[in-house]
Amino acid sequence: MQAKFPGKLLPYIFLLPTIIICGLFIYYPAAMTFRTSMYQSLFFGARQRFVGIQNFTRLLTSPNYLRSMGITLWFVFLVVAIGLSLSLLIAVLLNRKLHAAKALRVALVWPYALSPAVAGTIWLFLFNPHSGLVNYLLDLLFSNKPDWFSHPTLALTMLIVTSIWNNFGYNLVFFLAGLQNISDSFMEAAEVDGASFWRQLFHVTIPLLSPTIFFLLVININYAFFDTVGMVDVMTKGGPANATNMLIYQLYKDGFQNFNSGLAAAQSLILFVFVVGLTLLQFRTTGRMVHYGS
């Protein structure tokens, strides 16, 4: 049944607050970002000169920017793949009847309450080459104390570990909620058929959790692309030798350190289009494997 209003104007009155808020905080900033991307900032942002699409061509032909894009894609892939796999496995184990299960859930969820910058500060001390807990354990076990801040691969690894830890609690909450909605009869039937733990995981649990996995896949990709700028700034500042210079951090440097608002706006549009395109690709490919209902 279609809803009927006493007047044609009433529905628009109800929508007016939403339209105003979206216009002020979404559409107007987006339009101004597009306009700013067409200008070149001069004298530390004091003046602007219209350059058309020159900012975009400059970025897309820059070896440093393309290298930063490659680093970002590799970083996002590892954070999402390892983070989702690890949190799903831990959620499956915590969903079983264990002693102190509630205390373990709280202990594993709380890192999500920390902002990326605070998480980066904590792991900055843990990865300290001279007095950090990580190197202390590595020295104890393998007699090795690597310098995490001067080696490009180790610096990126450090950021990946911190990012996974910071977002682990968020993934765990949704996986636990999804697991508790799966009927025990499915697992009991699998056990009767003699299915091992791994067969139950891949052939029963994951298919039934496909809506949750797909949702977390989209959220984690956006997290890895956009929410790690504070972590990078605190831990590595894009170094060493730009080995951890993510796209979002390059945008931050150009916009707020170099005061090149035109170039930063162009980067934000490229990043936005890239992530939207990647999300749409997920809906057209991975989304087809999602099964709703049991």
Whether the Cβ atoms of residue 163 and residue 79 lie closer than 8 Å to each other: yes
Residues 6+ apart with CB under 8 A from 251: 264, 267, 268, 271
- Condensed to tens digits (0 to 9), the pLDDT of residues 192-249 reads 877 788 888 888 888 888 889 999 999 999 999 999 999 999 999 998 889 999 999 9
> Cβ–Cβ contacts within 10 Å for residue 258, how many?
14
Sign of CA dihedral 226, 121, 239, 259: positive
Who's near 270: CB < 8 A, 6+ residues apart? 56, 59, 60
pTM given for the model? 0.88
**What are the tokens at 6?**
């006493």
Q: How many whole angstroms separate alpha carbon 46 and alpha carbon 252?
A: 18
Q: What is the DSSP letter of 95?
A: T
Which of these ranges, 15-19, 109-113, 154-158, has the smallest mean pLDDT? 109-113
Establish if 131 belongs to a structural domain: yes
Instruction: Report the distance separating Cα 58 and Cα 86, nearest Å.
Output: 39
**Separation CA 103–CA 15 (nearest Å):** 45
pLDDT surpasses 80 at 181: yes
Give the confidence band of 283 by pLDDT, cuts at 50, 70, 90. confident
d(CA 143, CA 146): 10
Q: Are 270 and 56 contacting, i.e. CB atoms less than 8 angstroms apart?
A: yes
Among 274, 283, 294, 263, smallest CA distance to 37 is for 263
Domain assignment present for 15 = no
220 is a domain residue = yes
Strands (E), 223-273: none
Residue 194 lies in a domain: yes
| Confidence category of residue 7, pLDDT binned at 50, 70, 90 | low
For the chain, count helices (H), then strands (E).
Answer: 15, 2
Q: Per the omega criterion (within 30 degrees of 0), is the bond before 240 cis? A: yes
Q: Is position 86 within any domain?
A: yes
pLDDT at 21 over 70: yes
Rounded CA separation 292/235 (Å) = 41
Burial of 206 (C-beta count, 10 Å sphere; 0-12/13-18/19+) = middle
pLDDT exceeds 70 at position 294: no
Q: Which pLDDT score is estimated for 46? A: 66
Query: Does pLDDT of 1 surpass 60?
Result: no
Question: Each residue of 222-234: pLDDT tens digit?
Answer: 999 999 999 999 9
The phi, psi pair for 227, rounded to 5°, reads -95, 5
CA dihedral sign of residues 279, 57, 251, 47: negative
Domains identified in the chain, total number: 1
Which runs of E-coded beta strand occur in the chain?
39-42, 47-50
| Residue range of the domain that includes 251 | 70-289
Q: Is residue 277 part of a domain?
A: yes
CATH value at residue 171? 1.10.3720.10
∠ CA 202-204-207, nearest 5°, is 80
Whether the per-residue pLDDT at 155 is higher than 90: the answer is: yes
Domain annotation covers residue 16: no
pLDDT exceeds 60 at position 136: yes
- Asked whether residue 60 is assigned to any structural domain, the reply reads no
Residue 175 pLDDT greater than 90, yes or no = yes
Q: What is the pLDDT of residues 44-77, one digit of tens each?
A: 666 788 888 899 999 999 999 999 999 999 999 9
Give me the DSSP letters along 220-234: HHHHHHHTTHHHHHH
